[in-house]
Amino acid sequence: MRGMANEVLTETRAQVGIVRINRPDKLNALNLATMDGLVAALTGFDRDPEVRCMLLTGSERAFAAGADIGEMSDASMVEMIRRDQFSKWERIRRVKKPIVAAVSGYALGGGCELVMHCDIVVAAESARFGQPEINIGVMPGAGGTQRTTRSIGKARAMDMVLTGRMLAATEACQAGLVSRVVPDEHYLDEALRVCHELADKSPLALQHAKEAVLKAFDTTLSEGLEYERKLFYMLFATQDQREGMAAFLEKRQPVFTGK
Ligand code: CO8
């Protein structure tokens, strides 16, 4: 793969921006350099008009086993505040194009939280998900108490966050943390297939749809419905809406240009 920083590798394949976390010896623990690399890769692809969606993956043994514990173990509260690591996570949260996670091995702590920053999650059967921070005397800090609760409900979120127990891929899928589980050897192919499928759709419709779904995490139902309606109306100002509906009526495949 073409590089950015060594910790994060990037590559483009037919309008899909591929981002790979590359610290396999450390189970892809997310140190500061890796987080910088991730932000640069994802925001770079978000700005690139040739890219329509992103695939985020790790290695076979680990998507990411959490924040780098060695980098945090001696830090004071003031030092942690000064590092302001969460502004990087905020930046990833604001990525507009869809991100598909291809997860194999461990997705723990910050790794599981990173999965929850993605939009569609494809997991290998042997993938494991967890928020084990409680076992090292802390708690989740990059959304692990909030996004788990909203996506899998209080009972399961409490179980994960308070016990640190790992969920197997099928359990994570049943709970709603993951959307597809495939045999280990197919997880990357399947995620890439999803990406290519997304790349053929209207990029503006995708971005608006992503924004609307994420709004549901953040607002009341009536405000969310209002927001959805406005985004829906806005799409009628695009050529892609004309093209999509005309193609349906003419019984042909649409060609979306992002205009
Ligand atoms: N940080 C640093 N190094 C790690 C981490 C990690 N999170 N996880 C694994 N490693 C390293 C190990 O130290 C080891 O390095 P070395 O070979 O140099 O000793 C190497 O990766 C391989 O790991 P193991 O030998 O431990 O492999 P095992 O197969 O025996 O065990 C486990 C795999 C179960 C995944 C085990 O490595 C483990 O428990 N890892 C830690 C998991 C964890 O606690 N994660 C949560 C971290 S805290 C967090 O994520 C807070 C997020 C807050 C938001 C982020 C902003 C700061």
Nearest to 105 by CA among 28, 1, 195: 28
Q: Give pLDDT < 70 ranges for the chain.
A: 1-5
Tell me if 144 CB under 6 Å of ligand 1.
Answer: no
Annotated catalytic residue within 65, 113, 191, 205: 113
Note if 70 is an active site residue.
no
Tell me if 124 CB under 6 Å of ligand 1.
Answer: no
Tell me if 129 CB under 6 Å of ligand 1.
Answer: no
Ligand 1: centre distance to CA 63 (Å): 12
Annotated catalytic residue within 29, 62, 105, 133: 133
Tell me if 35 CB under 6 Å of ligand 1.
Answer: no
Nearest to 31 by CA among 69, 88, 76: 69
Structure tokens at 188: 């990357």
Structure tokens at 193: 């297939």
* pLDDT score for 227: 97
Q: Which residues contact 152 (CB under 8 A, 6 or more apart)?
A: 160, 175, 176, 177
Ligand 1, atom 21: closest residue by C-alpha: 26
Note if 67 is an active site residue.
yes
Nearest to 92 by CA among 19, 149, 164: 19
Ligand 1: centre distance to CA 255 (Å): 45
Quote the Cα angle for 1-23-123, to 5°: 80
Q: Which residues contact 43 (CB under 8 A, 6 or more apart)?
A: 91, 95
Note if 113 is an active site residue.
yes
**Exposure of 150 in the CB half-sphere (CA atoms within 13 A):** 15
Q: DSSP alpha helices (H): ranges in 48-122?
A: 69-72, 77-83, 86-93, 110-116
Ligand 1: centre distance to CA 70 (Å): 9
Structure tokens at 15: 């309008």
Annotated catalytic residue within 110, 111, 130, 143: 110
